[in-house]
Chains A and B, each alone.
Chain A
Amino acid sequence: MQEEIFVSGRDIPNIDPSLEIWHWPIGLYLFLGGLAAGIILFASIVVILNKEDEYPTTVKYASIIPPIALVIGLIALIYDLKNPLYSWQLYTTIRIESPMSWGAWVLLIVTPLSFLWVFSYFSELFPTWDLKFEWLKKFEQFVKKNRKNMAYLLVPLSIILGVYTGILLSAFNARPLWNNAILGPLFLTSGLSTGAAAIILLAKTAQERHLFGKVDLALIIIELGLIIHMLMGMYAGSEVQLEAMRLLVGGEFTVLFFGFVVILGLIIPGILEALEIKGYKVPVAIPALLVLIGGLIFRFVMVEAGQITRYLY
């Protein structure tokens, strides 16, 4: 029999048996970041392709979500810092090797831009409200004119943001569950999918709904493919990765992961969306909500389970 125990020390609930350093706010933060990245990316592309009039929900109404999501996400992040009063230290330096650092910087740029984006639609969104100050009106005109420039800027930034939510975890070699190259694209895809779902939820026209239904369906298929790829990768990996995989497949997190994320969050909404596109009458809110909830649970599962996995040495 093999036995490995701690003789002393380290019987610390904060370290063993799982780290429990990151709690639910981190999952929420990653989810909201991905959601915002998705909506921003779609809105930017629509603007660049000059299809604003055909897809008003995307560029206007859904775009109210990103600034709110990003702010809540940031609050969640700071809430989980153990030394939040020092968070300004994030902006005293740029650390290329630290995803946390460039994530902070990307957010610093994307968040105001997402506000400006909404501001550029101010008069359209809130026709009854009047901007009190002349300079504000001028400013609105200015951002409106530069909307396309913003879109050009936001396409790469939102992709970085989406990828970042995955890289933040996958950069940690020490946690076998996170330590794989697929997490970046997977979180990006999932983020885009939740973005599309949010647009579907708010869309007023069948055209817009259908387009994003198709987009979402495609994303769901890609996401399922990536998840299978990730699990296969772990399956072929070392003992620690196998152990990590077992947490998701046949372990503590299986019900959450397969039940809520894969089946309820991807397969069922995928089927429903396909039916909808085929012309069946499906209340679109259902798949969209399922995707959103599935996306959120996915983040929680990955953050929680990842901290349980550790290197064996």
Chain B
Amino acid sequence: AFGGNSILNELVAENIAKKLKKTATYCEVCFWKCAAWAHSDEQGNIKKIIGNDIDPHCNGRLCPRGTGGIGMYSDEDRLKTPLIRTTIDGEQTFREASWDEALDLIASKFKQVKDTHGAESIALLKHGSPGKHLEHLFKAYGSDTIAEPAYAQCRGPRETGFALTYGSWVGSPEPTDIRDTKCLVLIGSHIGENMHNTQVQEMSDAIDNGATIITVDPRFSTAASKSQHWLAIKPATDIALMLAWMNVLIEEELYDKEYVDKYCTGFNQLRDHVLNFTPEWAYGITTIKPAEIRKTARAMANAAPSVIIHPGRHVTWYGDDSQRARAMAILNALLGSWGRRGGFYFKESLKVPKFPHPKYPEPKWGWQDIGKKFPLAQMGITTEVMKCAIPTEENHEKYPVKAMMIAGTNITKSIPNKKLLEDAIENLEFIVVLDTMPMDVTGYADIVLPECTYLERYDDIRSSPNREPSIAVRIPAVKPKYDSKPGWWVAKQIGERLGLSEYFKFDDYEEVIEWQLNKLGTSLEEMKKIGVKQFPRKSGSLYLEEGKTHEFATESGKIELYSNQLKSLGFDPIPVFTKHPEPPQGFYRLNYGRAPMHTFSRTANNPNLNDLMNENKLWVNPKVARILDLKTGQKVWLRNQDKVTSTFPIKVRITERIRWDSVYMVHGFGHDNKKLTKAFGKGINDTQMITKVAVDPIMGGTGMRGNFVEILTENPHKTVTI
């Protein structure tokens, strides 16, 4: 009896280090795709995930979400079998189905749509790894009606702005040479909360190296707390600040003359343009003191060319976002940082050869035609694709979207304007969702397909641009749990049912990557052992070389400070400041961002990460709290300018980190699917409050930061019972 505590003995025994199997993978908790080792025990449980030491995306250190990636696998709320929508007693629900039944049904519906409208009418909204496999399926079937939220809700404007200026996208990972920089300027980019791994790691190196950090953010972000200069800017006025910075750099002749002469065009127009945009002018708009603007401009010039005006990443804010990105690009050019050590390096990636398949058919229309209205859109615009499903929308006649597949994106959280989504969904004949979790989006599906997690499947070879090109592989660490299947398998199964077997000439995706790895001069066997492989650069130096010329991929071959292309399209050739609406009396601007331990909505239910933070809070300035008599921890509801009321309440956090004219919350909470047992009803979904969208006329980005909310202390949903 003494010492007979069996649980305890078991736990002690368990603590004795076991032999764990290591499997090479790369992380799918966000799109940084850090390479890692999944450690599993004999019973096939994943115990921990550790970064791959030789991976340039993580240097052996994952971020909290990557470390907590085991929760993506172990979450007991995962989708377990295919589900088909049915009506039982007049109520819509789902019933479990076999894969065969679900896939047959999908194939027959797809054929039906193709026969009546053409394959183009089947749209794909996707994000992340499963998207790649389905994109192949869709293109093979004849549809290029494809879009993802990572463009018009995320990086789009930045890529357009930088492409107009330098002829090249910023891309992911950003080629920012943060580790060697002397001055890092973050404009609404909250690295440290935004946990894109190498960026965070290198910012820390920069702090060690004594770099100056300048943060422009209306909120006291974590990055702001690490900065020598925090410019607490009035929201929506960044372009004015940047114009003033240009004014100082040019007026005080602090810009890199040699660089500008050699590589840029349009300097004179720029100089004339910013002449009147003095710091004093900007002060009235941004509330940042002229002395502070001058001081920071000089700090940047001092550090130049080892200075980075960070292009940001989630940049769809106010509708003039490509222009804001242009301003950032121009500032970098004036400081001579593009192509310089401590500025932006020239990235390089390895081209992975395509596994042989027949040519894709030529679709009659696709995402490009749908987004034609936005002349510089370079990828599909999710909201425009959605609109094509609605008969009253202008594009519907020409580009009728009738069915949709949604994979790896939780559109009700990632795409604003819920009314549009619901109208579209209402009109769609058929929706298939491929996901790992019973997220809100699955509730709109006719068929839900359970994908296994990244830890249980093969996926494409990761080949991303970096200082040195590298590749990484994803090998299944354990067998798929429940009746879930890999995305490639789903694509292939549907493809075969649609008569596209020629496009899927493999039994297991392993064969595809094995073939590709062999072509790249390595092998699956080797990659299983090392996970990541670096290749020598072929494109030349990381930076611009003294005495050599460099041609940029723009029309003029130079960095375009003045954009003829924009001019000819009827847009401002040099950014101008436009005033954006401000919150009316009693309303607060809705600001949102990232928490380091969560990725959008996908991790809210992850047991490990939910344990760190299980709800979002409403940040409120103490002044506002005093006026509204709010207490920390109190539950409140929000109602926005369009009278949309939040489904759930949110707890108040009274903090000096936020302005008195704004409130802030972490994006990705407020889930309304009860099957998410941990995340359901926790906090507010910021996207629900975003009904007013400022569309970027240049590329179609959906500006989401112009929404204003009231704070309600009484439950607006209380029904009076008599």
Chain B proximity of A172: nearest CB distance (Å) = 26
- The answer to whether A86 and B5 touch (CB under 8 A), given A3-B655, A8-B612, A9-B612, is yes
CB-defined contacts of A3 to chain B, threshold 8 Å: 654-656
A93 within 8 A of B: no
Chain B proximity of A13: nearest CB distance (Å) = 13
- Cα separation A179 to B69 with both chains bound (whole Å): 44
Chain A proximity of B519: nearest CB distance (Å) = 44
The chain A residue with its CB closest to the CB of B632 is A3
CB-defined contacts of B3 to chain A, threshold 8 Å: 85-86
8 Å CB interface, B1-17 against A: 1-5, 8
- Cα separation A83 to B613 with both chains bound (whole Å): 31
CB-defined contacts of B655 to chain A, threshold 8 Å: 1, 3
B49 within 8 A of A: no
Chain B proximity of A169: nearest CB distance (Å) = 28
The chain A residue with its CB closest to the CB of B656 is A1
Chain B proximity of A98: nearest CB distance (Å) = 21
- Cα separation A7 to B5 with both chains bound (whole Å): 35
- Cα separation A5 to B611 with both chains bound (whole Å): 16
CB-defined contacts of B622 to chain A, threshold 8 Å: 1
8 Å CB interface, A1-25 against B: 1, 3, 5, 7-9
A88 within 8 A of B: yes
- Cα separation A86 to B2 with both chains bound (whole Å): 7
- Cα separation A138 to B656 with both chains bound (whole Å): 80
- Cα separation A195 to B435 with both chains bound (whole Å): 70
8 Å CB contact of A85 from B5, B597, B653: B5
Interface centre among A3, A83, A88 (most CB of B within 10 A): A3
- Cα separation A126 to B655 with both chains bound (whole Å): 72
- The answer to whether A85 and B2 touch (CB under 8 A), given A8-B597, A8-B613, is yes
* B-contact bits for A241-261, CB 8 A (1 contact / 0 none): 000000000000000000000
CB-defined contacts of A9 to chain B, threshold 8 Å: 611-612
Chain A proximity of B477: nearest CB distance (Å) = 26
The answer to whether B2 touches A88 (Cβ under 8 A) is: yes
8 Å CB interface, A88-107 against B: 88
The answer to whether A85 touches B654 (Cβ under 8 A) is: no
CB-defined contacts of A8 to chain B, threshold 8 Å: 597, 611-613
CB-defined contacts of B612 to chain A, threshold 8 Å: 8-9
- Cα separation A289 to B634 with both chains bound (whole Å): 44
CB-defined contacts of A7 to chain B, threshold 8 Å: 613
Chain B proximity of A282: nearest CB distance (Å) = 49
CB-defined contacts of A1 to chain B, threshold 8 Å: 622, 654-656
The answer to whether A85 touches B1 (Cβ under 8 A) is: yes
- Cα separation A8 to B68 with both chains bound (whole Å): 13
- Cα separation A83 to B11 with both chains bound (whole Å): 14
CB-defined contacts of B2 to chain A, threshold 8 Å: 85-86, 88
CB-defined contacts of B656 to chain A, threshold 8 Å: 1, 3
The answer to whether B613 touches A85 (Cβ under 8 A) is: no
CB-defined contacts of B613 to chain A, threshold 8 Å: 7-8
- Cα separation A7 to B225 with both chains bound (whole Å): 15
- Cα separation A3 to B8 with both chains bound (whole Å): 39
- Cα separation A9 to B610 with both chains bound (whole Å): 10
- Cα separation A3 to B220 with both chains bound (whole Å): 14
8 Å CB interface, B601-618 against A: 611-613
CB-defined contacts of B597 to chain A, threshold 8 Å: 8
- Cα separation A9 to B68 with both chains bound (whole Å): 14
Chain B proximity of A59: nearest CB distance (Å) = 38
The chain A residue with its CB closest to the CB of B1 is A85
The chain B residue with its CB closest to the CB of A3 is B655
The chain A residue with its CB closest to the CB of B2 is A88
- Cα separation A5 to B653 with both chains bound (whole Å): 10
CB-defined contacts of A5 to chain B, threshold 8 Å: 653
Chain B proximity of A157: nearest CB distance (Å) = 28
The chain A residue with its CB closest to the CB of B625 is A1
- Cα separation A1 to B622 with both chains bound (whole Å): 8
* B-contact bits for A36-68, CB 8 A (1 contact / 0 none): 000000000000000000000000000000000
Chain B proximity of A86: nearest CB distance (Å) = 7
Chain A proximity of B160: nearest CB distance (Å) = 36
- Cα separation A7 to B64 with both chains bound (whole Å): 13
* A-contact bits for B651-685, CB 8 A (1 contact / 0 none): 00111100000000000000000000000000000
- Cα separation A5 to B651 with both chains bound (whole Å): 14
* A-contact bits for B631-665, CB 8 A (1 contact / 0 none): 00000000000000000000001111000000000
CB-defined contacts of B1 to chain A, threshold 8 Å: 85
* A-contact bits for B1-35, CB 8 A (1 contact / 0 none): 11111001000000000000000000000000000
* A-contact bits for B231-257, CB 8 A (1 contact / 0 none): 000000000000000000000000000
Chain B proximity of A313: nearest CB distance (Å) = 20
CB-defined contacts of B5 to chain A, threshold 8 Å: 83, 85-86
The answer to whether A83 touches B8 (Cβ under 8 A) is: yes
- Cα separation A299 to B225 with both chains bound (whole Å): 46
- Cα separation A25 to B47 with both chains bound (whole Å): 39
- Cα separation A5 to B617 with both chains bound (whole Å): 13
CB-defined contacts of A85 to chain B, threshold 8 Å: 1-5
- Cα separation A68 to B655 with both chains bound (whole Å): 55
- Cα separation A8 to B596 with both chains bound (whole Å): 11
- Cα separation A83 to B12 with both chains bound (whole Å): 14
- Cα separation A88 to B2 with both chains bound (whole Å): 8
- Cα separation A223 to B319 with both chains bound (whole Å): 74
Chain B proximity of A4: nearest CB distance (Å) = 11
- Cα separation A85 to B3 with both chains bound (whole Å): 6
CB-defined contacts of B8 to chain A, threshold 8 Å: 83
- Cα separation A7 to B2 with both chains bound (whole Å): 41
8 Å CB interface, B567-613 against A: 597, 611-613
- Cα separation A3 to B658 with both chains bound (whole Å): 13
Chain A proximity of B208: nearest CB distance (Å) = 23
Chain A proximity of B660: nearest CB distance (Å) = 12
- Cα separation A56 to B597 with both chains bound (whole Å): 71
CB-defined contacts of B653 to chain A, threshold 8 Å: 5
- Cα separation A7 to B614 with both chains bound (whole Å): 11
Chain B proximity of A301: nearest CB distance (Å) = 26
CB-defined contacts of A83 to chain B, threshold 8 Å: 5, 8
Chain A proximity of B11: nearest CB distance (Å) = 12
CB-defined contacts of B654 to chain A, threshold 8 Å: 1, 3
The chain B residue with its CB closest to the CB of A9 is B612
Chain B proximity of A225: nearest CB distance (Å) = 40
8 Å CB interface, B357-403 against A: none
8 Å CB interface, A142-179 against B: none
- Cα separation A3 to B654 with both chains bound (whole Å): 8
* A-contact bits for B307-343, CB 8 A (1 contact / 0 none): 0000000000000000000000000000000000000
The chain A residue with its CB closest to the CB of B622 is A1
- Cα separation A3 to B611 with both chains bound (whole Å): 22
Chain A proximity of B90: nearest CB distance (Å) = 43
Chain B proximity of A140: nearest CB distance (Å) = 33
- Cα separation A9 to B612 with both chains bound (whole Å): 6
The chain B residue with its CB closest to the CB of A5 is B653
Chain B proximity of A42: nearest CB distance (Å) = 38
The chain A residue with its CB closest to the CB of B64 is A8
Chain A proximity of B626: nearest CB distance (Å) = 10
* A-contact bits for B278-316, CB 8 A (1 contact / 0 none): 000000000000000000000000000000000000000
- Cα separation A86 to B8 with both chains bound (whole Å): 11
What are 26 contact pairs spanning A and B, CB under 8 A? A1-B622, A1-B654, A1-B655, A1-B656, A3-B654, A3-B655, A3-B656, A5-B653, A7-B613, A8-B597, A8-B611, A8-B612, A8-B613, A9-B611, A9-B612, A83-B5, A83-B8, A85-B1, A85-B2, A85-B3, A85-B4, A85-B5, A86-B2, A86-B3, A86-B5, A88-B2
List A residues at the B interface (Cβ < 8 Å): 1, 3, 5, 7-9, 83, 85-86, 88
User: Given A8-B612, A83-B5, A86-B2, 10 more contacts at CB 8 Å?
Assistant: A1-B654, A3-B655, A3-B656, A8-B597, A83-B8, A85-B1, A85-B2, A86-B3, A86-B5, A88-B2
9 closest A-B pairs (Cβ-Cβ)?
A: A8-B612, A1-B622, A1-B656, A85-B5, A3-B655, A88-B2, A85-B4, A8-B613, A8-B597
